[in-house]
Structure 1
Amino acid sequence: MSVLIVAPGRDSEAWVEALKNQHPGMNIYMYPEEHDPEEVEFALTWNHPRGLFKNYPNLKVIASMGAGVDHILSDNSLPENVTITRVVDETLTEDMGDFVLSQVMNHIRNLHGYVKSQYKKQWDRSQYKRPQNTNVGIMGLGVLGNAVADKLHKNFFKVSGWSKTEKNCENVTSYYGKDQLEEFLNNSEILVCLLPLTEDTENILNEDLFDMLPEGAYVINVARGEHLVEHDLMKMIDNGHLSGASLDVFREEPLPEEHPFWEHDRINITPHIASVTKPESVVPQIAENYDRMKENQDLKNKVELDRGY
């Protein structure tokens, strides 16, 4: 019985070390090193090559290295009856809350604008808003969405949230379903996307949605690049309906040098660092699931395949 780590472009050595510290007897292979596919029952992955896992006849579990699982579910050739798990980690949750709060504060105090003014040696002063007078709408009220909502509420923002199904979240004005989406958007001066990526949410950040936001609204995307229709965002910023955007995720990463986002003066770019998985923090839950698998016990943080998260 072996574990296979498949994470192109990531430092797999750190994961191996953390797993062996947690579980000294674990046999681990790092793809693409030579190994027997029939030995592998548990895979730990991020952005695996499409079609890879169909070559593992005894695979029982595919564990995501992070909170997202769209990189797994987008593979149409996954083995049948395999269980998929995701990471739920307090450190990731806290980091996401801190990051979104920093982006919201940067916007209402125009700190991004002052950085650009400094490069131009311009002494430009602008009016700012206070948290108490700012409505922030969060799309997606899962673990991360709830944490972000709580962080913003504790910093005196007015917070609302929208989700596919009804949620009761403390200190959040909640909306759900397609029928309540427009009302939610009408009241969102700053829109934060924390939705899971599914067939229903892909391309959801588009011109029609932006048009339902109040004039001058600001968009923050920390979910997935595929949520955003990039041309629509630039169009709505350039025509003045949106005041700008902060983007941490993109359809292609790293963002190509020729991409127009780099040169847009009202789009702030960060390189997918809002919340980064730390192996030593999440390996204990992965090792626990490995033991649960061996004992034929129910796994923690299982993904509901029909929902996509």
Structure 2
Amino acid sequence: MLILSTEKLPDECKRLLPNARDQFNEDDVPKADILMLWPLQAKVFLPKAKSVKAVQTFSAGVDDFPFSLLPKGVDVFSNAGAYSVSVAEHAFALIMTLAKGIGKRDRTFRPYPLTGVNLMVLGGGGGIGSEVARIGKMGFNMYVIGVSRSFKRPELFDEKHNISELKDIIGKADIIVDTLPLTKLTDGILNYDMLSRVKENAIIVNVGRGETVVEEDVYRLLKERKDVRFGTDVFWRKNGVEDFNSKLWELDNFTGTPHTGGAYGNDVVKTNAIIEACKNVYNYITSGKAENKVRIEDYL
């Protein structure tokens, strides 16, 4: 079985996958059984991959994956969970910044208590959402409300809801953390109608995908309600490219970072993520029980 990787494979990967190559030429692609790559790279490789049976991405998100080019019957597996700790830590960095006024020089700023408050995690069933829930519960004794299709670690949540219930329950949360992937269902789910239902002094943080929040609507909300605070690590794409130049920066009740939550630039984090992808491919080959199989119908 021939496995081709667009990333240099650590020794652990070579031990697990002795048939994997991280150096190959164009002639190898039509013979590959499994491709390991970043979603945007699939546009180049899929048209040539005549024998491919499965694709493993190095990224957690797959909204950039060209599913329309995917041959029928080919499975796609994401690397969901590989960056969970980094992104969850980053979510709480944004929460702390908004709650405690870190970086503010205004003595009239009113700090926001965190211990014991209601934390709502959108996409709480995934790896990032579960880690956000764990930190909130264990670190701050928060009451944790999960909103997800399913839950990997249900014991971390005091309440569990389906996303179809969000409109009725969003007003219960003091802090809302959006970890949602971008799919047909979640695109623009946090629009003005939804956002206007948040409670007084709510903090909203997005570490999922920018387009799950409507930019114009969150801007309008923050202008109208100075009590609400919003932070994001993910921004909106303009002409297919994530654009960090948002007018939200002009608002005092906003903070943001330029999609650095995954800590991709950290060699240790990146290496560990590649190893997680290799482990998933190993499980696929040896038992057929790989995790994070993508529901392609969510994207087409």
Which TM bucket (shorter chain)? Answer: 0.7 to 0.9
The match for 1:202 among 170, 184, 187 is 187
Q: Is the 8 A contact 2:5 2:22 kept in 1?
A: yes
2:295 equivalent in structure 1: 305
The match for 2:203 among 211, 218, 221 is 218
**Partner amino acid, structure 2, of 1:274:** G
Distance across 1 between alignment mates of 2:197 and 2:284: 47
Q: Is the 8 A contact 2:178 2:206 kept in 1?
A: yes
Q: Is 1:70–2:63 an aligned residue pair?
A: yes
Deviations 1:101-150 (A, max 9, x none): 222222221224x1xx3xxxxx5243323223532211112222122111
2:79 match: secondary structure: coil
Deviations 1:67-126 (A, max 9, x none): 222222x5312111112112254x6222233222222222221224x1xx3xxxxx5243
2:130 equivalent in structure 1: 146
1:263 equivalent in structure 2: 250
Q: Is 1:102–2:102 an aligned residue pair?
A: no
Query: Greater CA deviation, 284-293 or 188-197?
Result: 284-293
Deviations 1:155-211 (A, max 9, x none): 222322222458844342222242x32332111122110122211111111101101
Q: Is the 8 A contact 2:244 2:258 kept in 1?
A: no
**Partner amino acid, structure 2, of 1:264:** L
**Partner amino acid, structure 2, of 1:300:** A
**Partner amino acid, structure 2, of 1:71:** D
Q: How many corresponding residue pairs?
A: 288
Distance across 2 between alignment mates of 1:42 and 1:184: 42
Distance across 1 between alignment mates of 2:293 and 2:272: 20
**Partner amino acid, structure 2, of 1:106:** T
Q: Is 1:170–2:163 an aligned residue pair?
A: no
State the TM-score, normalized to the length of structure 1.
0.80
The match for 1:44 among 26, 29, 36 is 36
Distance across 1 between alignment mates of 2:193 and 2:228: 16
- Percent identity over the alignment is 20
State the TM-score, normalized to the length of structure 2.
0.82
1:60 equivalent in structure 2: 53
2:260 equivalent in structure 1: 273
Deviations 1:203-260 (A, max 9, x none): 1111011011113322210001121211111011111166231110122355254x32
Distance across 1 between alignment mates of 2:12 and 2:248: 37
1:219 match: secondary structure: strand
Distance across 2 between alignment mates of 1:16 and 1:104: 34
Structure 1 residues 228, 18: closer, same or farther in 2, change over 3 A?
Answer: farther
1:182 equivalent in structure 2: 167
Query: Greater CA deviation, 95-104 or 206-215?
Result: 95-104
Distance across 1 between alignment mates of 2:151 and 2:19: 44
Distance across 1 between alignment mates of 2:182 and 2:10: 28
Distance across 1 between alignment mates of 2:180 and 2:219: 21
2:67 match: secondary structure: coil
1:131 match: secondary structure: coil
Q: Is the 8 A contact 1:70 1:308 kept in 2?
A: no
1:120 equivalent in structure 2: none
The match for 1:250 among 212, 235, 245 is 235
Gaps of 5+ in 1: 7-11, 118-122
Q: Is 1:134–2:124 an aligned residue pair?
A: no
1:36 match: secondary structure: helix
